[in-house]
Amino acid sequence: MISLPKIFFYGVVALLGLNAPSMATPSAASIGRAIFQDTNLSRPKGQACISCHDPNHAFADPRQISPGATPNIKGTRNAPSLMYAALIPPMAYDDFFLPDGSEAFAWEGGLSHDGRAQDLFQQVQEPFFNPKEMNLPGPKALASELRKSTYAPEFRKWVGNKAWQDDEKLNYFAYRSLVEFLKEPFFRPFDSRFDAYQNGDEEILTKTEKRGLEIFKTTAACADCHFLHAKSWTAPLLSDFGYDNLGAPSFGAKDPGLFAVTKDPEDLGKFKAPSLRNIELTAPYMHNGSIPTLREVLEFYNVRDLQPPRWPKTDYPETVNHDDMGDLGLSEQEIDELLAFLKTLSDRSLLKKPKDQLFPKAPAGVPSSLNRKLYFPDWTHRLHPAFPGD
């Protein structure tokens, strides 16, 4: 989380000219954009980031589980949306205060459903070598494909001849460029009808949607985890990025979730609360894609704990959260209102994107990454574009 003193400190550092503006030059992001679509970076060839993070579904995968590059090998989780992913804070064991004033600690932030990637830079490296995803045999193969790519001339110009010859450095810049790409304004347009409402346009939401917002804040207390207040960014991200076991229906092998990272048995089956921005566009839902529709997710929150159970058993019943959900007592009409509200979280720039246009266009006025650099969780004056140690 960025605190004011930190912003001040880095602001001073920036004024002194110790920052690294070249990291945010258009060429870094444009190379990242090319890599994102490059299907030569998998084994067998044919799979790219975009194969599982589909721009027509807010960069999530409409398939329950994304197939890997290798036929018949696939993972166990649903590919999440990449909208606003560059704004997810890094994994940290953060302190917070309970209503009685006592201090408590919880894991927050991190990338992947279980937070196993500390930050975005770590996350973007993984799919290339994951046998269930792009399945490259190793860093050498990645560097050699990058040198043969159609965007090689531009890439070489950006990194310089020395880094171009060095596998480790070349790959480092490939990962950096993906991070810069994921920060592009169209990934963080904040142009949903809900944003317009937050910015003072009271007429833009219908009565039903406004009632849904009230339920989200009060009776259903969704906003306790899917924050409606701005925290690490200037507008709300609709998540605290905390971890919880919601009891999502099982399928296949048990998925330990956060436990795999912390080794704390209390964390078995806990997954990161995602942003609810563009949630209407990213079915199916939950870390394992086990719930097909948004209405069904709301019914799950509302009646999960009623008997007889309507959903199949979950992986780790012992850690399921029964305090905040499972028997909310909402009426059918309240569910409809909540659903109507969730649909106001869709970015209009995504809804407007013609299917044959690859990427959405950011609306006018969305600040550049350079302009907002102090807010990006990965920005520090030490994040030099040079390879570490050079």
CB of 177 to ligand HEC, least distance (A): 10
Reported for 224-230, long-range contacts at CB under 8 A and 24+ positions apart, including other chains, are: 224/324, 225/273, 225/324, 226/273, 226/275, 226/276
CB of 22 to ligand HEC, least distance (A): 21
Distance CA 295, CA 369 (A): 35
Stretch that binds ligand HEC, among 97-105, 144-152, 162-170, 292-300 (CB under 6 A): 292-300
Region of 147 on the Ramachandran plot (φ > 0 left; ψ -120 to 50 alpha; else beta): alpha
Distance CA 209, CA 327 (A): 22
For the chain, the residue count is 390
Instruction: List, in order, residues 6 or more apart from 125 with CB less than 8 Å away.
Output: 171, 175
Please report whether residue 66 would count as binding ligand HEC according to CB under 6 A: yes
Stretch that binds ligand HEC, among 127-135, 352-360, 361-369, 376-384 (CB under 6 A): 127-135
In Å, how far from its chain's centre is CA 355? 22
Omega cis (within 30) before 139: no
- Which CB atom, from 147 or from 381, has the smaller least distance to ligand HEC? 147
Please report whether residue 68 would count as binding ligand HEC according to CB under 6 A: yes
CB of 255 to ligand HEC, least distance (A): 9
Task: Fill in the amino acid letter for 83.
Answer: M
* Pair of tokens at residue 43: 């084994």
Instruction: List, in order, residues 6 or more apart from 328 with CB less than 8 Å away.
Output: 219, 220, 301, 302, 303
CB of 15 to ligand HEC, least distance (A): 31
- Which CB atom, from 25 or from 321, has the smaller least distance to ligand HEC? 321
Please report whether residue 53 would count as binding ligand HEC according to CB under 6 A: yes
160-199: which residues touch ligand HEC (CB under 6 A)?
A: 178
x-or-dash string of contact with ligand HEC, 371-390, rule CB under 6 A: --------------------
215-244: which residues touch ligand HEC (CB under 6 A)?
A: 220-222, 224-226, 244
Please report whether residue 127 would count as binding ligand HEC according to CB under 6 A: yes
Contact criterion met (CB below 8 Å) for 80 and 274: yes
Task: Fill in the amino acid letter for 374.
Answer: L
Please report whether residue 112 would count as binding ligand HEC according to CB under 6 A: yes
- Catalog residues that contact ligand HEC under the rule CB under 6 A: 47, 49, 51-53, 66, 68, 75, 77, 79-80, 82, 85, 88, 111-114, 120, 123-124, 127-128, 133-134, 178, 220-222, 224-226, 244, 246, 248, 271, 273-274, 276, 279, 282, 285-287, 294, 297-298, 301, 321, 324-325, 338
